[in-house]
Amino acid sequence: MALPADAPAWLGALRESERRYRELASLLPQIVYEMDITGRLTFANRQAFEAFGYSQADFERGVHALDIIVPAERGRAGENFRRVMAGERLTGNEYTVKTVDGRTFPAAFYSTPMLRDGQVVGIRGLIVDITERKRAEQTLRQSEQRFRSLVENAVDAIFVHDLEGRLLDCNQCACQTLGYSREELLTMRVVDLDTRHTAEQSRQMAEQLEHQEAITFESEHRRRDGSMLPVEIRLGLLEDSGQRRVLAIARDISERRQAQQQLERSAEQLRQAQKLEAVGRLAGGVSHDFNNQLTIIQGYCDLLLRELGPEHPHYDPLTEIRRATERATGLTGQLLAFSRRQVLRPEVVDLNAVLADLQGPLARMIGEDILLDLLPGAQRGTVWVDRGQFEQAIMNLAINARDAMEAGGKLVLETRTVTLGQPGQQAPARPRPGCYVLVLVSDTGTGMAPELLDRIFDPFFTTKPVGKGTGLGLAMVYGFVEQSGGHIEVTSQPGQGSTFRVYLPLVTEATPAPATVPAPLARPAGSETILVVEDDERVRLLTARILRDLGYNVLVSPDAREALPLGQGHEGSLDLLLTDVVMPEMGGEELADRLRRARPDLRVLYMSGYADHRFVARIAADQGAHFLQKPFCPEELAARVRDVLDA
């Protein structure tokens, strides 16, 4: 409608301003509205009509501002409108609005009072459709919930801390692992948990993360109870509300550490076994040759002593030579025991009974200033061992204990039956799972440093002064126990004594055989034919001489190659093959096997300075084969030959 010609100029200007305002409002993407003090909408732009579905006619009939808000929120909206009418500006009030056809959508109202002559005459504002924002917020909340769920259910401890190391957040695993509540952890710093961490390191790592994606390292966390937890930590940077934070994921690596330690122990045990095997082969070879020489010395000493008699002036010197060979024989016996090449004569024995028999000799040996305490187990500890070698092993352990208690102390011998590697129990690397009789030999002596424990069973290693020990005692014990299918280990600390643990396989299906007293050695004679095969000429000649003196018909050969046709072609009977085990080109076992093809009833007596335990097991299964340990005296040879022929 046009203005009259006499209308004031300001009225025209007002009309023009209002036109421009409406054009501008129609160009805005938001809804623009105006309402009077009664709440009736007096103006709305095109976007309002499109959004709410009102027509111009509806608008002219009157639409109240609260009509576009759902009934449940009209009370809050009315209160906010009254605040604006009182002169307050409100921004971002969110309501659910509805259209003419009943649709609803979320909207944000930005309202400001309309003033005229300083008085509020209405409200002007914008309405923004926030459907997409709400949808994005919902998606974000769901993502945050899923992320939080993942974090809370993670098997690793997760922390968030600032660049100074102050803890800002953590998950449930962190609380459970360390024993703190979330509230307690959030009052702490990284340095309170990580024993190897400092505040300066936190800053340095944060700077380092600027140039790389993540940092991974191993450390230890201190639990609430003071115990230490080995962890692998992975650090990364994250942005949180414009602030740089550090995300730390700590994984419990206790099992990994245990596995690594077990692997290292197994590797060390393998290296130890390989080292002992190498030295054992050398010791076995030396013992073989040495025992040949001792056989010669001892044999001829015995022959001379028998011929000369006690009245002869050379009888006593020869007797000393004979005693020296016995001491040397004991030394080679220790070498063979350590190298696990000694010939064992196992039997089923009750270790409780054996230790009870040893109590008196042990008490006398260790002296009156050391208390000996014997604690037998409740169950009978029956095992399959060489009783004499076991007694010698206990004596060696007791001697070491005595030497470690020069000022007196206490030696305890205890037996137990134990089962290793039960279901649900972690199986040890050594000994293998099974039932064992455990013999503990404990002392209250000076103890040993850790670096000594790694070498305690090495041959010729000793901490005793020169002349006080050969260094073969514990090596011999180790060899005997391993050869018997068991295991030995030691724990010790300086000033707190030592404990040796000897595991021997438990035997339950047999009863111990009664102890027998060996009969005095004699020289039983015979007339059978014996084939002697020995590559050492002097041992061969000595053996043949002893047997001929006893009446036997003796055939001799320096090696298996010559002995084979000799034994096969002999026209008369061949009653016994007496052969060395280790010889060049062909060994005693192969010779015996090939001769038996032609002479199935041939009996075999092997002799050697040492024998592999596998070899001893094989001949034990052969009813016609026997073994004679070098060095031997004429009486032992005579008795053993007669036993084999009469068996």
Report how far residue 334's alpha carbon sits from residue 474's, in angstroms, rounded to the nearest whole number.
Answer: 10
**Residue 523 phi, psi (nearest 5):** -120, 75
Where do we find the tokens 């305690």?
A: 456
Whether the model clears a pTM of 0.95, i.e. scores above it, the answer is no
- Average pLDDT value for the chain: 80
Whether residue 631 has a cis bond before it, omega within 30° of 0: yes
Provide the pLDDT for residue 340.
47
CB 479 within 8 A of CB 340: yes
CB 527 within 8 A of CB 551: yes
Report how far residue 530's alpha carbon sits from residue 105's, in angstroms, rounded to the nearest whole number.
Answer: 116
CB 381 within 8 A of CB 417: yes
CB 64 within 8 A of CB 41: yes
3-state secondary structure of 470: coil
Report how far residue 1's alpha carbon sits from residue 311's, in angstroms, rounded to the nearest whole number.
Answer: 166
Positive/negative CA dihedral, 577, 581, 582, 586:
positive
What residues in the chain have per-residue pLDDT under 70? 1-27, 147, 150, 199, 241, 269-270, 272-288, 290, 329-345, 422-430, 455, 458-473, 509-523, 610-624
Report how far residue 542's alpha carbon sits from residue 564's, in angstroms, rounded to the nearest whole number.
Answer: 21
CB 175 within 8 A of CB 182: yes
Provide the pLDDT for residue 377.
84
Provide the pLDDT for residue 424.
47
Report how far residue 40's alpha carbon sits from residue 65's, in angstroms, rounded to the nearest whole number.
Answer: 6
Report how far residue 446's alpha carbon sits from residue 9's, in angstroms, rounded to the nearest whole number.
Answer: 118
The predicted-structure confidence for 239-289, as pLDDT tens digits, reads as follows 776 788 888 888 898 888 888 877 777 777 667 666 656 666 666 666 667
Provide the pLDDT for residue 204.
78
Cα end-to-end span (Å), the chain: 146
Provide the pLDDT for residue 183.
92
Q: Mention every residue, 6+ apart, whose C-beta is less than 8 A from residue 238.
A: 160, 244, 245, 246, 247
Provide the pLDDT for residue 344.
55
Structure tokens at 306: 């028998």
Nearest to 526 by CA among 412, 605, 591: 605
Provide the pLDDT for residue 517.
35
